[in-house]
Amino acid sequence: MTFSHISHLSCAKCSFVYKPDEVHQLCRCGSPLLVNYDLSSISMKVKRAHLLNRSNDLWRYHELLPVQHPDNIVSLGEGMTPLLPMKKIGQEMGLPRLLMKDESLTPTGTFKARGAALGVSKAKELGVKAFVMPTNGNAGAAWSLYAAKAGIEAVIVMPVAAPPFIRSEVAATGSRLFFVDGLISDAGKMAAKAAADFHLYDASTLKEPYRIEGKKTMGYEIAEMMDWQVPDVIIYPAGGGVGLIGIYKAFRELQQLGWVDQGKMPRLVAVQSEGCAPIVKAWQEGKMESELWRDSKTVAFGINVPKALGDFLVLKAIYETNGFALSVNDEEILEEQKRIVQTEGAFVCPEGAATFLAARKLGNAGVIDQKDTVVTVNTGMGLKYLHVDEQNTPVLQRDGYIKSLIDE
């Protein structure tokens, strides 16, 4: 029995076909490549119930993943994160069927581990010895950790403004870390130059085809954990938008396998920060591609992406599922984050909080119905963002603190 049922890669724009067992980056036309599988043979050989006996991580879906030999798997135990009912805050929002896919429990603390697990495993399988990657922080940290485990050399390029916490995480792995005085797009230019100059594998978002295969497993897990029911709405904090493209791909594949209802897709909602909302702007204008967002800025640094290579795929996923795109401001995000911690005990990251805020706003606006099953994706742990709130942390004096508590 074949471990992976990968058949070929194909260009997301011009449909040109590539072989699966060679190193590829972008298509010759400059667009991202997507991975295709022999879905009809999977649907004959694998039944949903078979999954129940498998490992409790994302490798349970191995036929639908690109790694062809299990020996090449580089795993830190990623996947199968909880899908938690958010009853209290959902009730308060008027959305009693609110759920959270909680990626804070992933190795490395963000869902970037999924992309890194697949990206690094497949790189290992293809014989890659070193890669370069531009990152806002979380992807660089995740890829560095998996690269360390794989014995692959990682060169990471980050904006200087990336959180110190994450710099330390990357530095600890022994990756070679470089800083640029600019945004992720500037880091991307530097990485592209380094890739050309030093013949490195370019692991930039969507320049390698496999991280999307890791991120799509969030879609499989949501379906499996809902006993193969399709939720009405999934809300995702979109930066490069790979997670959203992945979730869309996952549900399409599940439909073709006959594992979920063929007539229903979840409505996919992209939320961005008002300080960086190129996808939202394009969606509002009914466009198929976004424009570069100048001087982007947001506390939710994971979604600070001024122009995404896969923007047309994100927009397509939103249009085709009758979805929605909206932006929210940083101040509101941080307020929502507090509300979530204080009602549900979940210390979500700002990006995750933005999805709850989007649910609240779309509920109020009547875009989402109170009968809808709504899944918010908390893409990472709040603990990675302590720098955001440092000024507000109360410092209690040793002497007199009990007294001050009693006085209140």
Binding site for Zn ion (CB under 5 A): 11, 13-14, 16, 27, 29, 31
Torsion sign across C-alpha atoms 66, 68, 73, 77: positive
Percentages helix, strand, coil for the chain, rounded to the nearest 5? 45, 15, 40
Binder of ligand PLP out of 119, 209, 239, 382 (CB under 6 A): 239
Q: Return the axis-axis angle of helices 311-320 and 242-257, rounded to nearest 10°.
A: 50
Q: Choose between 235 and 238: whose C-beta lies nearer to ligand PLP.
A: 238
Of 152 and 315, CB closest to Zn ion: 315
33, HSE (Cβ side, Cα atoms, 13 Å): 25
Q: Which is nearer to Zn ion, 30 or 164 (CB)?
A: 30
Judged by beta carbon, residue 46 or residue 323, the one nearer ligand PLP is 323
Instruction: For residue 236, give the amino acid letter.
Output: Y
Under the binding rule (CB under 6 A), the answer on residue 379 touching ligand PLP is yes
Q: Is 98 in the site for ligand PLP (CB under 6 A)?
A: no
User: At 352, which helix (H) or strand (E)?
Assistant: helix 350-364
What's the distance, Cα to Cα, between the start and end of the chain in Å?
Answer: 68
Does 157 help bind ligand PLP (rule: CB under 6 A)? no
Token pair 């992976």 is found at 4
How far apart CA 130 and CA 112 sit, in angstroms, is 19
User: Least distance from C-beta 35 to ligand PLP, angstroms?
Assistant: 16
Q: Does 209 bind ligand PLP (CB under 6 A)?
A: no
Question: What is the residue whose two structure tokens read 């470089």?
Answer: 178
Give all strands (DSSP E) within 233-344, no chain letters: 233-237, 267-273, 324-328
When the beta carbons of 31 and 68 are compared against Zn ion, the nearer one is 31
Minimal distance in Å, beta carbon 379 to ligand PLP?
3
For ligand PLP, the closer CB: 123 or 238: 238
134 binds ligand PLP (CB under 6 A): no
**What is the Cα Rg of the chain in Å?**
21
* Binding to ligand PLP, residues 343-362 (CB under 6 A): 349, 351
Contact pattern for ligand PLP over residues 284 through 323, marking x by CB under 6 A = ------------------xx--------------------
> Taking CB within 5 to 8 Å according to partner kind, which of ligand PLP, Zn ion, none is near residue 240?
ligand PLP
Backbone angle region of 14, left / alpha / beta, with phi > 0 → left and psi within -120 to 50 → alpha: alpha
Length of the chain: 408
By CB under 6 A, residue 125 contacts ligand PLP: no
Query: Segment near ligand PLP (CB under 6 A), from 18-26, 54-62, 233-241, 328-336?
Result: 233-241
Nearest-angstrom CA–CA distance, 156 and 187? 9
* DSSP per position, 78-129: -----EEE-HHHHHHHT-TTEEEEEGGGSGGGBTHHHHHHHHHHHHHHTT--
Q: Quick one: which segment of 7-15, 223-231, 238-246, 251-259 binds ligand PLP (CB under 6 A)? A: 238-246
Which of Zn ion, ligand PLP, none interacts with 11 (beta carbon under 5 to 8 A by kind)? Answer: Zn ion
Q: Which chain residues interact with ligand PLP by CB under 6 A?
A: 110, 112, 138-139, 237-243, 302-303, 349, 351, 379-380
